Amino acid sequence: MANREHIKIGIIGCGEIAREFKAFFKIVKNAKFVAAADTEFKRAKRIAGKECAYTDINEMFDKEDFDVLYIATPHYLHRDHIKLAFENGKHVFCEKPAGISVEDAREIYHLDKKYPHLKLGFNYQYRYDQKCFELSNGINEGVLGDIYYANCNVYFSRDSSYFNDADWRITKKFAGGGTLITQASHIIDIMIWALGEPKTVIGKIKTIKFKNIDTEDLGFGIVEFENGVLAQINSSMIVEPPFESTKGMVELLIFGKKGRATYSGPVPSSLNWYGVKNYSPKKMYNYAPYIAGSLEAFADWILNDIPYLNTIEESSKVLRLICALYKSSETEKKELVEKLF
């Protein structure tokens, strides 16, 4: 596809995320929506128009010409839809998380290796926030010296409509979990990117506000990384009153021998260094604002073979950590973070 200017995308799953993402295509230069499928025709129509909307994904594969399947379905369907896309010769751009279990991640990894000519990426979009890149790169270049510990805080506010509008979120069987796997996983991904491979976790989850769900609305964890660094995770979807604009805020604070760094986001995002000179990386992203830039970068991977940051190997680290945290909350013991293979 080296001579192509853009990729063509078909979408499966036309809920809230897909509707929000559609707006970003106005600023993405190298990708275009051409078709959409959903179990409800009116939702697919809202995304792609009447002529290119489907309730049967196989019919969309048969009738439409597109390069990439963008998967925005409930979490438990990600593995099966990735498999279906590969079987139909499509690249895959999938919303996070990779799945709902470590077994999902392993099966997806093997699928990815089975179809080496097809590309698979996950939309952990914070990696295309220049501030997150600066944070991770600076830590790995030793700006703060030896790292002592980190704090990862997630403050979201949800009301009953969050579950009423997408009732699959109520059940762990379908969602995989609650605030940790939905709200926190983006910033946990950045924490892992900066600090390395997680080794063990002690976790505790609880459902406080939403009594009709079996996923957590509050979660805590203490992570030990393979390099010995400790990190604390605090994730909530019950913060009142809600933060303005996105109804949520995330923070990642990293403390080292020479100083500390503080990232906050998601929109707008900021990064501050304390005790050291402000760090400026040599590399600067040339993509659209990061919420859309992640897709633009994935398209660049297909069109120009520029490596994409969010592969199954990278994205599985978040899922594997969170699954270990959930297990720890059940066993009330420290748990190992399982390896991908």
Q: Dihedral of CA 123/163/318/74: which sign?
A: negative
Say if residue 243's pLDDT is above 70.
Answer: yes
Say if residue 191's pLDDT is above 60.
Answer: yes
Say if residue 192's pLDDT is above 70.
Answer: yes
Over the stretch 258-293, which tens digit does the pLDDT of each residue have? 999 999 998 889 999 999 988 888 888 888 889 899
Average pLDDT (204-219) is: 96
pLDDT for the residue 245: 59
pTM over 0.85: yes
Average pLDDT (205-221) is: 97
d(CA 112, CA 109): 5
pLDDT for the residue 148: 98
Average pLDDT (255-259) is: 98
d(CA 16, CA 198): 31
d(CA 201, CA 231): 9
pLDDT for the residue 67: 98
Q: Where do we find the tokens 């069987």?
A: 173
Query: What's the pLDDT band for 301 if we cut at 50, 70, 90?
Result: very high
Query: What's the pLDDT band for 240 if we cut at 50, 70, 90?
Result: very high
pLDDT for the residue 132: 97
Asked whether the beta carbons of 53 and 44 are under 8 A apart, the reply is yes
Q: Whose CA is closest to 233, among 220, 250, 224?
A: 220
Strands 230-236 and 260-265: unpaired
Query: What's the pLDDT band for 1 if we cut at 50, 70, 90?
Result: low
pLDDT for the residue 147: 98
Over the stretch 303-335, which tens digit does the pLDDT of each residue have? 999 999 999 999 999 999 999 999 999 999 999
> Domains in the chain and their CATH numbers?
7-124+303-311 (3.40.50.720), 126-274+315-336 (3.30.360.10)
DSSP assignment string, 170-235: G-HHHHS-SHIIIIIHHHHHHHHHHH--EEEEEEEEE--S-TT-SS-SEEEEEEEETTS-EEEEEE
pLDDT for the residue 26: 79
d(CA 144, CA 34): 46
The share of the chain scoring above pLDDT 90, in percent, equals 87
Distances (CA, A) of 297 to 12, 22, 73, 93, 129: 20, 16, 21, 11, 12
- Residue 274 is given by DSSP the state E
Average pLDDT (215-239) is: 98
Over the stretch 135-190, which tens digit does the pLDDT of each residue have? 999 999 999 999 999 999 999 999 999 999 999 999 999 999 999 999 999 999 99
Over the stretch 94-108, which tens digit does the pLDDT of each residue have? 999 999 999 999 999
Over the stretch 39-50, which tens digit does the pLDDT of each residue have? 999 999 999 999
pLDDT for the residue 278: 83
Q: b/e per residue, 83-113, with b = 16+ CB within 10 A?
A: bbbbeeebbbbbbbbbbbbbebbbbbbebbe
Asked whether the beta carbons of 198 and 323 are under 8 A apart, the reply is no
Say if residue 23's pLDDT is above 90.
Answer: no
- Provide the phi-psi class of 108: left if phi over 0, else alpha when psi is between -120 and 50, else beta: alpha
